[in-house]
């Protein structure tokens, strides 16, 4: 089953490649987002993983930022 917020598989930790494929970007982009603190990531051995809750939070913040101003406050 897929997450209704980000569309990724429902699991606590997501592979960087899974996140990159879901959003149509390079794995290096996801790694940069982890480095900048935009996503919570952890190193499991030699592989980075993204915390699913962090990704959902990022998607919510980004969706809010991209909405027209009237819809942000519930005016429209």
The dihedral through the CA atoms of 22, 38, 43, 10 has a sign that is: negative
Q: In angstroms, rounded to a whole number, what is the distance separating the alpha carbons of residues 58 and 24?
A: 15
What residue numbers bound the domain in which 35 lies? 13-68
| pLDDT tens, position by position, 15-71 | 999 999 988 999 999 999 999 999 999 999 999 999 999 999 998 887 766 555 554
Domains held by the chain: number: 1
Report if residue 6 sits inside a domain: no
Report if residue 26 sits inside a domain: yes
This prediction has a pTM of 0.75
pLDDT confidence of 10, banded at 50, 70, 90? Answer: confident
Report if residue 8 sits inside a domain: no
Residues, the chain: 76
- pLDDT at position 76 is 44
């Amino acid at each position: 089953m897929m997450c209704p917020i980000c569309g990724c598989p429902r699991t606590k930790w997501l592979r960087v490649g899974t996140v990159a494929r879901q959003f149509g970007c390079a794995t290096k982009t996801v790694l940069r987002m982890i480095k900048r603190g935009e996503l919570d990531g952890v190193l499991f051995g030699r592989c980075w993983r993204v915390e699913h809750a962090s990704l959902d939070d990022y998607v919510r913040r980004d969706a809010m930022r991209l909405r027209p101003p009237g819809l942000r406050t519930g005016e429209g």
